[in-house]
Amino acid sequence: MEVLRTPDERFRDLVDFPFEPHYINIDDEDGGTIRMHYIDEGAPDGEPLLCMHGQPNWSYSFRKMIMPLAEAGFRVIVPDIVGFGRSDKPTKRSDYTFSRHVAWLRNFIEGLDLRNINLIAQDWGGPIALRNAADMPERFARIVVTNTGLGDGTGIPEEKTPELRRLLDQTPALPIEEVTKQALSAKDGRPGFFYWVKHCDAYEDFDPGAVMRFWLNECSDEEYRAYAAPFPDESYKQGAREFPTLVPMIPDNPAIPDNRRAWKELEKFEKPFLTAFSASLLPTRGPCATFLEFKVYKNESPMIARMQESIPGARGQNHCTIADSGHYPQDDAGEELARVAIDFFKTT
């Protein structure tokens, strides 16, 4: 597997990010090894607290939470998913599969021999980590999920596959401003998410830093530089481009059988499990809110209900919403999410 490694100078003097890098070489699931970066802060003998980021960001997105979590006594471990941050970046889109992402995280957890894990997972960090929690529940103690889930094609008829494939093929690759607008008004049976898939897949000027700047409540020029840092040019963006394509929204997606098996295990998971989703999946301030003449879109995701009702450890928990936050609460409302997580971990 051919990989790229973002030059260290791209990460020099990033705002509000004083953390020392740590690295581990893991099995790349292709006959070689690959290097993953992670932050490791707090008491070395504290309970491990694993923070999993989403797409298209990296461990930088947890910068506001790391010290509050560490000061609460946890060993805070924040990896960069392969293809993101300071982790290695395979050069071929085909190198990135759902099953490999799951295996890479498993190899990371086993490589550090993490046990009794407290988990905070957002966006793509969720399905990757939840698959691991299903595969090795003995290593996980408590789980907090925010704006994420584990899709398995439930409710999507198999006979819809050709139509959905056609609609995806016909979806244009638009700039991020138009992606958001079109996704909210998608018609003709087209899932709004298809616009995001095609933006990442085929939009010529796809810029993960610009995406974060548009979708966050606030993002300074220096924060934009940090979010763009892992991706010096197009060759480094293949993992970020591929992630939305891997979401199981069409019944022929190859991850669906494994995800359904994982759900059978999660339906036996009795350890504490909390949903802490944003009150809105759209930002409440910033360029995206201004562009859309923001209105509050209450998050009523069926995935929230499924997790709360189907996972035994979620029943009876004090599930909550994170106010004044869009899709990335670890950045928009990091201090609040940290408080919610600490309270949950300390009282369950």
- Residue 296 confidence (pLDDT): 45
In the chain the first and final C-alpha atoms are separated, in Å, by 42
Beta bridge partners of 52: 121
Domain extent listing, the chain? 3-154+253-347, 158-246
- Residue 189 confidence (pLDDT): 85
- Residue 310 confidence (pLDDT): 97
User: CA-to-CA distance for 58 and 82, rounded, in angstroms?
Assistant: 10
Using left for φ > 0, alpha for ψ between -120 and 50, and beta otherwise, residue 13 falls in left
DSSP character at residue 154: T
What is the pLDDT tens value at each position of the chain, 348 positions in all? 999 999 999 999 999 999 999 999 999 999 999 999 999 999 999 999 999 999 999 999 999 999 999 999 999 999 999 999 999 999 999 999 999 999 999 999 999 999 999 999 999 999 999 999 999 999 999 999 999 999 999 999 999 999 999 999 999 999 999 998 888 887 888 999 999 999 999 999 999 999 999 999 999 999 999 999 999 999 999 999 999 999 999 999 999 999 999 999 999 999 999 999 998 877 878 888 776 654 444 556 789 999 999 999 999 999 999 999 999 999 999 999 999 999 999 999
CB neighbour class for 85 (10 Å; exposed up to 12, middle 13-18, buried from 19): buried
- Residue 328 confidence (pLDDT): 97
- Contact 209/215 with Cβ under 8 angstroms? no
Q: Are strands 75-79 and 22-27 parallel, antiparallel or unpaired?
A: unpaired
**Residue listed under structure tokens 């994170």:** 322
DSSP character at residue 175: -
Of 85, 86, 131, 108, the residue nearest 29 (C-alpha): 108
User: CA-to-CA distance for 78 and 246, rounded, in angstroms?
Assistant: 23
Q: Does domain 3-154+253-347 have CATH number 3.40.50.1820?
A: yes
User: CA-to-CA distance for 136 and 74, rounded, in angstroms?
Assistant: 21
